[in-house]
Amino acid sequence: MSLSSHVSDQSAKATIGHLARFVEVSHDTPKHKMPERTMTGQAAASIIRSELRLDGNPNLNLASFVTTEVDRECLDLMIENLNKNLADTSQYGHSSEIQDRCVNILADLFHAPPDNEGGAVGTATIGSSEAIMLGGLALKWRWRAQQAARQGKKPEEITTRCNLIFSAAVHVSVLKLCRYFDIDARIIPLEHNRYTLDIDQAISQCDENSCGVVAILGTTLTGEFEDIKRLNNALLKLKAKKGLDIPIHVDGASGAMVAPFVFPDVEWDFRLEQVRSINTSGHKYGLVLPGLGWIIWRRKEDLPEDLIFHVNYLGVDEATFNLNFSRSAASIIGQYYQFLCLGVEGYTRIMQLAVDNAKYLAESLTSMSEGLLIVHSQNDKPSLPMIAFSLNPAKSLKFNETTFVHWLRERGWIVPVYTLAANASDITVCRIVVRENFTRNIASMLLEDIRLVLVALADHHGHQDLVASLKAARDDQHQHRRSKQHAERVAQMIQSNQEVGGNHGDVKKADKTGKEKKDKHRTVHTIC
Ligand SMILES: Cc1ncc(COP(=O)(O)O)c(C=O)c1O
């Protein structure tokens, strides 16, 4: 074949490929049946991409705790390792080693006893839901073994059902655990103004068939931390009094990656004797793209041997205790990257900023809305960086939270609306989750849009008094912000003056001509 005909063949192919994209996309591609004919990869990708464009923008999704953005380096590493099956430890031993390192890092962060033979005990999962299932199964198996020993029977001869105690604020995965694995759910209801576990009620529900209590470090509903230390102490008292040794599983889906960095003095983890297992979501404040969860057990004996299977059909003996077998190593590699790259310093800065931004948002929502919004989350106490708020029922508004978030959606913000759990299920709340990429600037834009939506809704529904006060509130806010900015600038000015003053000698030594003048000039510029 001549060179010229080869070139024209190539360009003809390229043209057909290019045209095919448009021709094939216009076909009526079946949605629920496999198409009969092949199409180019370009065409298929184009069809899928154009539909997915209709999804919301993940970065404006304030509903979710799940990470939506990672560094380029992290993403590249994840893509490079997508094709490795973590279950195949014989072939991908290094990926498996990285999983073990992450388990050890988390166990250390959660203060697991350092003397575990063979290292920390835990595994990666698809998310916290799978981790919760594994944690619950370990509690059930442990309880069954104890019952069997007490009754002189084999574990499989125990037919009584065990029970698990938790507040109604739990994530649905805890309810699934109970239903799927035949555990009686003893649910402690919430009350108005109490959206976490009532510890006295929890203790009163404990008996010889209780396999454990689930405590939440950061509830999905309001972001509050349940008082795990008080629960631990109450369970220790119960043990001393009645001989009942009831363990705690901590659902730290979000909180377990916030508390160690921002609230290191809050005791919620393996520092507490009754805490036997902890789950967290790597894809939430672990800062990895989905799906990744973790479960860590206090000691080897807290993961009953009976739950561990050994397989050798991939070439070596492999211990497996996950619900799922095959999975990509990508997110585990991403997690290790984040641990290495950010370290304690990086996680602390990110989590502290998120907590500060949530606090700022909660305060601003309260002050800017003229009493129209009630914030339920306790952002001035150790809690997740999220805000749960409602429209104030005392204002007798002619619009509700659903309309409010619908109008916010028109401005691009995705904010969920949901009801709290029994006995507070008559309260409807909106939730804003503050993640790493939620900056103070985004917070200001969101606040302004919330104010605009409230003004528009109040106007639309004839609440003219509210329109006036919300507009006035903006002026006050504006003034407040200006005076706050002014105060911040003055503080900055003082600091940079001190820095310039402090460095004076060095500056003079380094550059006797001009540098000092330049720094002074920069300082003056900042004041302006
Ligand atoms: C407290 C809590 N537990 C468990 C889960 C389930 O986590 P995952 O989505 O990682 O399965 C969530 C999810 O938001 C949660 O908030």
Ligand 1 midpoint to CA 222 (Å): 13
Per residue, what are the HEC states of 228-295? Answer: HHHHHHHHHHHHHHHCCCCCEEEECCCHHHCHHHHCCCCCCCCCCCCEEEEEEECCCCCCCCCCCEEE
240 domain-assigned: no
Task: Tell whether 513 and 456 lie within a shared domain.
Answer: no
Query: What is the reported pLDDT for 115?
Result: 80
Which of 2 and 524 is assigned the larger pLDDT?
2
3-class DSSP assignment, residue 96? helix
Ligand 1 near 65 CB (within 6 A) = yes
What DSSP line would sit under 438-485, residue for residue?
A: --HHHHHHHHHHHHHHHHHHHHHTT-HHHHHHHHHHHHHHHHHHHHHH
Residue 33 falls inside a structural domain: yes
Does the beta carbon of 142 lie inside 6 Å of ligand 1? Answer: no
Average pLDDT of the segment spanning 2-16: 45
Instruction: Point out which residues pair with 65 in neighbouring strands.
Output: none
* DSSP β-bridge partners for residue 202: none
- Are residue 485 and residue 436 in the same domain, yes or no? no
- The verdict on 357 and 441 lying in the same domain is yes
pLDDT of residue 483: 53
Q: What is the pLDDT of residues 210-238, one digit of tens each?
A: 999 999 999 999 999 999 999 999 999 99
| Pocket residue to mutate for ligand 1, from 125, 126, 128, most atoms within 8 A of Cβ | 128
**Residue of 68, 129, 176 best suited for mutating to test ligand 1, as the one with most atoms within 8 Å of CB:** 129
Task: Let me know whether 453 and 367 are in one domain.
Answer: yes
**pLDDT bucket at 526, cuts 50 / 70 / 90:** very low
Same domain membership, residue 472 and residue 502:
no
Q: Which atom in ligand 1 lies closest to the alpha carbon of residue 255?
A: 1
pLDDT at 504: 32
**Does one domain contain both 395 and 449?**
yes
Domain finish residue from 12, 33, 55: 55
249 lines ligand 1 (CB under 6 A): no
Query: In this predicted model, which residue has the larger pLDDT, 14 or 306?
Result: 306
Q: What's phi and psi for 438, nearest 5 deg?
A: -90, 95
Find the 253 Cα to ligand 1 centroid distance in Å.
Answer: 5
Q: Is residue 63 part of a domain?
A: no
What is the number of structural domains in the chain? 3
Say if residue 441 is preceded by a cis peptide, omega within 30 of 0: no
Atom of ligand 1 nearest to the CA of 284: 10
Tell me the CA end-to-end span of the chain in Å, nearest whole number: 73
Atom of ligand 1 nearest to the CA of 127: 10
pLDDT higher than threshold 50 for residue 94: yes
Statement to judge: residues 435 and 400 lie in one domain: yes
Establish whether residue 293 lines the binding site of ligand 1, counting it when its CB lies within 6 angstroms of any ligand atom.
yes
Q: Looking at the structure, do residues 422 and 447 belong to the same domain, yes or no?
A: yes
Nearest to 69 by CA among 80, 79, 59, 61: 59
pLDDT of residue 334: 98
Between the CA of 325 and the centroid of ligand 1 the distance, in Å, is 21
Please state which of the ranges 22-36, 66-80, 156-170, 507-521 shows the lowest mean pLDDT. 507-521
| Burial (CB count <10 Å: 0-12, 13-18, 19+), residue 152 | exposed
Helix crossing, 464-510 with 515-527: angle to 10°? 170
Q: Which atom of ligand 1 is nearest to the CA of 129?
A: 11
Q: Ligand 1: which atom is nearest the Cα of residue 131?
A: 11
CB atoms < 10 A from the CB of 307, how many?
14
220 within ligand 1 shell (Cβ under 6 A): yes
pLDDT at 11 over 50: no
Residue 281 CB less than 6 A away from ligand 1:
yes
- pLDDT over 70 at 253, yes or no: yes
Domain residues for 520? Answer: 480-527
Q: Both 415 and 493 in a single domain?
A: no
The amino acid occupying position 510 is A
Q: What's residue 26's pLDDT? A: 54
Ligand 1 binding pocket includes 253 (Cβ within 6 Å):
yes
369 and 452 share one domain: yes
For ligand 1, say whether the CB of 197 is within 6 Å of any of its atoms. Answer: no
15 CA to middle of ligand 1, Å? 48
Of 338 and 26, more confident? 338
Ligand 1 neighbourhood includes 136 CB (under 6 angstroms): no
Is 169 part of any domain? no
**The predicted structure's pLDDT at residue 359:** 96
pLDDT given for residue 508 in this prediction: 32
Whether 465 and 519 share a structural domain: no
Atom of ligand 1 nearest to the CA of 130: 11
Q: Using 50, 70 and 90 to split pLDDT, how confident is the model at 404?
A: very high
Find the CATH number of the domain harbouring 400.
3.90.1150.160
In a domain, 142, yes or no: no
Tell me the pLDDT tens digit for each residue of 332-368: 999 999 999 999 999 999 999 999 999 999 999 999 8
- Say which residues have a Cβ less than 8 Å from residue 393's Cβ, sequence separation at least 6: none
Q: Is 418 in the same domain as 523?
A: no
Mean pLDDT of the chain: 87
Q: Is the CB of 254 under 6 A from ligand 1?
A: yes
Judge whether 335 lies within some domain.
Answer: no
Q: Which two three-digit tokens encode residue 305?
A: 């041997």
**Does residue 324 fall inside a structural domain?**
no
Q: What percent of the chain shows pLDDT beyond 70?
A: 84
Residue 414 covered by a domain: yes
Q: Say yes or no to pLDDT of 516 above 60.
A: no
pLDDT at 91: 87
**pLDDT at position 27, please?**
58
- The residue whose CB lies within 8 Å of the most ligand 1 atoms, and thus the one to mutate among 132, 250, 268, 281, is 281
